[in-house]
Structure 1
Amino acid sequence: MKDALMLDFPVEEYEQRKTRLVREMEKQNMDAVVFTSRDNLRYFSGFQTIIWMSNIATPGILIITRDGDMAMVGSKLRLDTIAVSVCVEDLRGYDNFTPGGIGYVEMVYEVLKEKKVHTGTIGLEIGKESRMHLSYENQRKLIGLIGDRNIVSTDTVVWPVRKIKSRLEIELLRKISNINNEAFDIALSAITPGMSEVDLYRRFCIDMFTLGADEVMPLGIRAGAERYAQGNSSPSTRPIGKGEMILVDGGGLYKGYSTDIIRQAIIGKPTDRQRALYDFSVETCMEGLNAVKAGATAESVTRRIDAYARKSRFADCYRTPGWSGHGLGQHIHEPPIIGLGSTEVLEPGMFLAIEPDFYEENVGVFGIEQNILVTDTGYELLSTVSHELRVL
């Protein structure tokens, strides 16, 4: 491996990631993996580019074999761009533009043949917890060259590595969490009657970037009776009025790592019903946090939340039975899933979001989302901005 201008971490961090990946590949008898997604390329090689937004380009493809060899395939016109951001030394340029040039799918297969793994078991991002950044046509072409019988999902080797954060990742997660906490505190305090949801989103973006975030995810912001039920909704131009519950969901990113919290506010005094539902939603989230510890299953956290919510007088308002949260990292939703059927055991170093949700028509949507790091003795709370209902 080599150092590069734009690497997020020292080369040693990428060496450790590759070593852990290869160990998992040996367990699964996987001869090579082929990564095409933004998350996996940045995680295992450091690769960054603005072209991920394109629907017609494949910015890069990373190949790692079971013996630890790495190769990166990219456009021959952009190899200089790739070189300044990756730890990979073996760079191959494809050529889709010159007659007789080798396209990127063919180049990937040539690399697999050269490394004598093309007839072995090849991992692709085809599992339920991954996505390939290839067109359907090129997916079919690549699978056709390798052969269906030789292809397996990379989920079984990627997530055992990525879901446990390293010391350097944890330092970075604390940094972006602190940025997020401060930005939420500033932006929520700036809400005024008549401000639109989009205006509030713009304010969040300004504060996030000013405080040091690299990116801001599309935040879910909604307020008002006609908006309460619309989960994961983009902000609208609708003005925010007095007496309306305001929910903000999401966060900033730093060096590719995400935060994802929910905090709420209201302009004017809440009704007794709004206050009671909000307070209970916070209690329910805390009940779930108290179930988090190394050695517990992800499912046990949801079972505790479900039981607490269903025995309450707000049981009919509980909107997320069976689902309580998710992992975080280089993507907003990562394993482990915190829900029924998830028998995954929680381990120190997992970064989680816990988010039970309540809703009552014409009254409001209620809930906080907390980001925590699983530790040997329980958890460390990283979303430390006040979870009290912000009364403006």
Structure 2
Amino acid sequence: MKLLLEVINLIVNNVRIEKLKKHMKEVNIDSVIIFKPENRRYISGFTGTSGYVIITGEENYVATDFRYLEQVSKQCEGFKVIELNSVHTIFDVLNELKVKRLGIEDNFVTLQFVNNLEEKCSNINIVPLNGALENIRMIKDKEEIELIKSAAEITDKAFNHILDFIKVGVKELDIAIELEYFMKKLGAEGPSFKFIIASGKRSAMPHGVASDKIIEEGDFVTIDIGCIYKGYCSDMTRTIVMGKANEKQKKIYNIVLEAQKESLKAIKPGIKGFEVDKIARDIIDSYGYGECFGHGLGHGVGLEIHENPRLAQNEMGKIVLKPGMIITDEPGIYIPNFGGVRIEDLVLVTEDGYKVLSKTTKELIEIS
């Protein structure tokens, strides 16, 4: 079984590397250095916190220090290991490899690194990757999809668990702590972001992370949660009511639910993110709450909780949806001094449409 997993990982990594090498040829670079943790893991499998992946036309390398040498040998099948230390730096390595045109993650690299590179590797021409790795990562392979499905399943179970925990008098922070504990018991590495548990008037804050506010009768409670499972993230939001919902709460909830359901129906290959966003936005605006929906409809999810593509009216919303993309669909209405509602699903773009990965009910839940 162990040998089979190693072979599968090697095949997966090779496919990903070949996609990167295709880009390298297109922009005429002979090498790429990767140090953004998510990109490093995607290409090599390395999960350590310090190191570099170097892809050249001939070989693939992981350069790291003594602490991670054994880890690299186990995780990075098909990669040569280079040890770094105080007298053998990454800049020495690049000179030894006779790199000429080097692709760098310009959306992640520090100015200090670039300055050192220009000073210590004067023969190297720096070429920005312009998000090439993130673009490759937008399309999830079968292994990634299964891992995200598992993360979504843990999230569903955690939400259903927390419904028996929430009651009047409990703090938002207590809910967040219980959710994280339960998710970890189910195999999650941890939360994929700082949980948003926002009750009462605080639910009008789209990113109202859990506070010491006490849950009260009549509160909206927005619960935006997700976990990391074997490196991959999930993301889901539901809004519940403590006690019986009043007419205004029901009205706001149903508008958001309508916007969410109708925009979901539009998700398919070939449509652009901003077009899906517009469907939800137009519905909310038609009820007079357009100014109360100020964020984009959704975002990509994978090794990072926020990735491209975006379901939004900005430049990233012009990306065309393709099979294998995993995105969120999360319209909301936020009314100051009243409260807010958000309903969010995790969604896989399929060959002929979409598949919702979040299985939790979207009917309004009232907790007595």
* TM-score calculated relative to the size of structure 2: 0.91
Matched, 1:368 2:359: no
Match of 1:29 in 2: 28
Contact 1:373 1:382 in 2 (8 A): yes
Match of 1:194 in 2: 169
Match of 2:103 in 1: 123
CA RMSD after TM alignment: 2.4
- In structure 2, what is the Cα distance between the partners aligned to 1:157 and 1:68? 20
Unaligned 5+ segments in structure 1 are 53-58
- In structure 1, what is the Cα distance between the partners aligned to 2:209 and 2:346? 21
Match of 2:319 in 1: 344
Match of 1:60 in 2: 51
Q: Check 1:315–1:299 CA distance in 2 against 1; reply closer, same or farther (3 A cut).
A: closer
Match of 2:266 in 1: 291
Contact 2:269 2:353 in 1 (8 A): yes
- In structure 2, what is the Cα distance between the partners aligned to 1:354 and 1:71? 38
- In structure 1, what is the Cα distance between the partners aligned to 2:276 and 2:119? 42
Contact 1:224 1:241 in 2 (8 A): yes
Q: Which amino acid counterpart does residue 220 of structure 1 have in structure 2?
A: I
Q: How far is the alpha carbon of 1:160 from its aligned partner?
A: 3.2
SS at 2:11 equivalent? helix
Q: Which amino acid counterpart does residue 92 of structure 2 have in structure 1?
A: E
Q: Check 1:155–1:388 CA distance in 2 against 1; reply closer, same or farther (3 A cut).
A: farther
- In structure 2, what is the Cα distance between the partners aligned to 1:360 and 1:283? 18
Contact 1:228 1:364 in 2 (8 A): yes
Q: How far is the alpha carbon of 1:189 from its aligned partner?
A: 3.3
Q: Check 1:306–1:68 CA distance in 2 against 1; reply closer, same or farther (3 A cut).
A: farther
* TM-score calculated relative to the size of structure 1: 0.86
Q: Check 1:44–1:202 CA distance in 2 against 1; reply closer, same or farther (3 A cut).
A: same
Contact 1:371 1:381 in 2 (8 A): yes
- In structure 2, what is the Cα distance between the partners aligned to 1:254 and 1:68? 33
Match of 2:71 in 1: 81
Unaligned 5+ segments in structure 2 are none
Residues matched between the structures, number: 363
Deviations 1:80-99 (A, max 9, x none): 23323322531111212xxx
Contact 1:349 1:373 in 2 (8 A): yes
Q: How far is the alpha carbon of 1:387 from its aligned partner?
A: 1.6
Identity %: 29
- In structure 1, what is the Cα distance between the partners aligned to 2:238 and 2:8? 31
Contact 1:62 1:71 in 2 (8 A): yes
Contact 2:269 2:322 in 1 (8 A): yes
Contact 2:225 2:235 in 1 (8 A): yes
Q: Check 1:147–1:296 CA distance in 2 against 1; reply closer, same or farther (3 A cut).
A: farther
Match of 2:198 in 1: 222
Q: How far is the alpha carbon of 1:4 from its aligned partner?
A: 9.3
Deviations 1:103-149 (A, max 9, x none): xxxx32333333332x22x222223xxx24x6x53343124445699
Matched, 1:38 2:37: yes
